[in-house]
């Protein structure tokens, strides 16, 4: 089972490997810099080499780099699009340096331009990027609040159809649940995966963000809960983890640290749900 968590790169990106092992993970996700500011990655070659070597020796992989929160692919604003392109290009180059396979990004918000124009903008922004060989951009599903895109599978398919890039998809279980896909039952998970296959195509699904939700399906509220302890619950989480079409994909946790439970508890919880199914 490929499972891990989003871990820190404090004191050097190479330390992320040990942190992943500490929580029981064998794959995972990182930020290369603070996600809340326009500051690109700063990774020296020694750190990169240590990261690559430790990953190859101790993890199954893959790693994902999560792009900065400020990136907005769908924006109609030229200045924000330019900053988003620069930020994403820096992340792609960092992924190439680190030997990381995926760079994960949200579509962002169309801020009044409309869904179709927003998808056009997102594809245009993505097509401006120089994606290194061996690196793939994953578009992440969204909870769908306001003018944000990615809550509907049709949005994900729309940008794949429009873009010339070889894009993949990362499904966030909490986001898709909040957007209205009922993942709380085995039947609901089966229906959602079938719909994804019909609308987007399972061949494009490359990873999951495995998060339970503190809020009900269809609320568009993005707040993560511990695996099996939120509104998705044990049945839904187990159905996702054991579904034959997706069980071999990497599952990356972005669960909270609260109630005395952290990533280690959630990694173990996910494994237990799968083993006991």
The three-point CA angle 153-77-222 to 5° equals 40
Instruction: Tell me the mean pLDDT per 10 residues along the chain, length 277.
Output: 97 97 98 92 94 98 97 98 98 98 98 98 98 98 96 98 98 98 98 98 98 98 98 98 98 97 98 97
| Residue-wise DSSP of 187-206 | HHHHHHHHHHHHHT-GGGEE
Coil, helix or strand for 216? coil
pTM (predicted TM-score): 0.97
Coil, helix or strand for 106? strand
Read off the pLDDT of residues 101-116 as tens digits, 9 standing for 90 and up: 999 999 999 999 999 9
Read off the pLDDT of residues 17-39 as tens digits, 9 standing for 90 and up: 999 999 999 999 999 999 999 98
3-state helix, strand, coil in the chain (%, to 5): 40, 15, 45
The CATH code for residues 3-276 is 3.20.20.150
């Amino acid at each position: 089972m490929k499972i891990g968590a989003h871990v820190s790169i404090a004191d050097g990106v190479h330390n992320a490997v040990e942190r992943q092992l500490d929580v029981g993970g064998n794959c995972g996700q990182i930020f290369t810099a603070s996600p809340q500011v326009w500051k690109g990655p700063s990774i020296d070659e020694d750190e990169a080499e240590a990261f690559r070597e430790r990953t190859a020796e101790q993890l199954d992989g893959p790693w994902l780099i999560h792009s900065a929160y400020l990136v907005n692919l769908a924006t109609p604003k030229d200045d924000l699009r330019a900053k988003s392109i620069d930020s994403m290009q820096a992340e792609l180059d960092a992924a190439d340096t680190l030997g990381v396979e995926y760079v994960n990004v949200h579509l962002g918000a169309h801020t009044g331009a409309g869904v179709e124009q927003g998808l056009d903008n997102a594809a245009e922004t993505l097509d401006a990027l120089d994606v290194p060989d061996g690196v793939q951009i994953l578009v992440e599903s969204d909870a769908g609040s306001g003018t944000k895109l990615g809550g509907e599978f049709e949005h994900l398919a729309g940008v794949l159809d429009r873009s010339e890039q070889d894009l993949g998809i990362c499904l966030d279980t909490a986001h898709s649940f909040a957007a209205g896909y009922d993942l709380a039952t085995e039947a609901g998970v089966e229906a959602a995966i079938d719909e994804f296959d019909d609308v987007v195509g399972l061949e494009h699904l490359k990873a999951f963000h495995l998060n339970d939700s503190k809020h009900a399906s269809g609320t568009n509220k993005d707040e993560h809960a511990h695996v099996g302890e939120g509104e998705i619950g044990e049945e839904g989480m187990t159905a996702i983890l054991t579904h034959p079409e997706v069980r071999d994909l990497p599952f990356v946790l972005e669960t909270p640290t609260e109630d005395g439970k952290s990533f280690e508890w959630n990694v173990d919880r996910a494994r237990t749900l799968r083993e006991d199914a």
